[in-house]
Amino acid sequence: MTLDAQTTAELAQYLESAQLSARPVAQISIAHPGLVMDDGYAIQAEIRRRKVLRGGRVVGWKAGVTSRAKMRQVGIDTPSYGFLMDSFAVADGGEIAVRELIHPRVEPEIAFVLKRDLEGPGCHVGSVLAATDFVMPAMEIIDSRYENFKFDFASVVADNSSSARFVLGGRCRAVDELDLATTGLVMSKNGEPVAFGAGAAVLGHPAAAVALIANLLARRGEKLSASDVILTGGVTEATPVKAGDFLQLRMQGLGSVSVRFV
Ligand code: OOG
Ligand code: MG
């Protein structure tokens, strides 16, 4: 850690205000060049604390930058995590108002829902599959609070790994019925296929992204809880969207999920 508690709280407020007002801000590492990963997670945890104090509920977690395509797109090769609040959830087939966001992008993801708590360190694909209730298709809408969607690792971690909205849908299926590494997916925008992939693009197996979050949370003395929703990270690069766009994700054996931007 390089930041004291007061600076951590100020940076949390700076980033949360950018989110709530949908106005981009300068990367925090410009004013604080020595930021390290633990600073980023401390700021992120402070944003989470502020939201919970105002009555928000944490409903799960998200992994960030877990596929090669995402690493290439943002120029970062270290995965991260962020939290998901109840207020980020959008119903399948629902609408998202772009005026509430800065420069949204959509990612096709595989979501896990846990039936048991999962505590690191030492979590692995096997312990994740044993603790999983079911999986389902998801789209994550990311929206970096930084100008031009540009950031370094500590800055994006502080900014809750760009989390903004998520949509769950399709079918819920038990993991023993599926081979998630070879599960294929197609995401389309206004009827045009824009992204294709398979689950193995995410760290070889998307359950590895859940293990990664549990192991990182353990560094802060936290864990994943039964009923948490876990987004395992974009299988492909993220697709920019604007008002009027209709996004649909189809996933092999898992049905489809859609959302409209207005
Ligand atoms: C960071 C968050 C990435 C994912 O699924 O990889 C992410 C970003 O690209 O802004 O959510
Ligand atoms: Mg994502």
Q: Cα(218)–Cα(147) distance, rounded to whole angstroms?
A: 31
Domain boundaries, the chain: 5-261
pLDDT in tens, 202-238: 999 999 999 999 999 999 999 999 999 999 999 999 9
Closest residue by CA, ligand 1 atom 8: 162
How many Å lie between the centroid of ligand 1 and the Cα of residue 156? Answer: 9
**160, two tokens:** 């809750």
Closest residue CA from atom 11 of ligand 1: 64
Measured at the CA of 55, the angle between CA 51 and CA 61, to 5 degrees, comes to: 50
Pocket test for ligand 1, best of 19, 27, 78, 107 (most atoms within 8 A of CB): 107
* Cβ 207 under 6 angstroms from ligand 1: no
Question: How confident is the model over 131-156, as pLDDT tens digits?
Answer: 999 999 999 999 999 999 999 999 99
What ranges in the chain are assigned the alpha helix state H? 5-21, 28-31, 37-53, 68-74, 125-131, 153-158, 207-218
In 10 A of CB 240, how many CB atoms?
11
Indicate if the pLDDT at residue 1 is higher than 90: no
108: pLDDT confidence band, cut at 50, 70 and 90? very high
- Averaged pLDDT, 123-134: 98
Give the amino acid at 20.
L
CA 177 to chain centre: 25
48 pLDDT more than 90: yes
Ligand nearest to the CA of 73: 1
Nearest atom, ligand 1, residue 233 CA? 5
Provide CB contacts within 8 A for 30, sequence distance 6+. Answer: none
The dotted CATH code for 5-261 is: 3.90.850.10
144 lines ligand 1 (CB under 6 A): yes
* Distance, CA of 168 to CA of 137 (rounded, Å): 6
Strand partners, 256: 250
Q: Which two tokens stand for residue 155?
A: 């800055």
Structure tokens at 227: 């009923």
Split at pLDDT 50, 70, 90, the class of 181 is very high
Question: Could you give the C-alpha distances from 109 to 7, 30, 115, 180, 259, in angstroms and in order?
Answer: 34, 31, 20, 12, 14
Q: Write out the two tokens for 206.
A: 């998307």
Closest ligand to Cα 67: 1
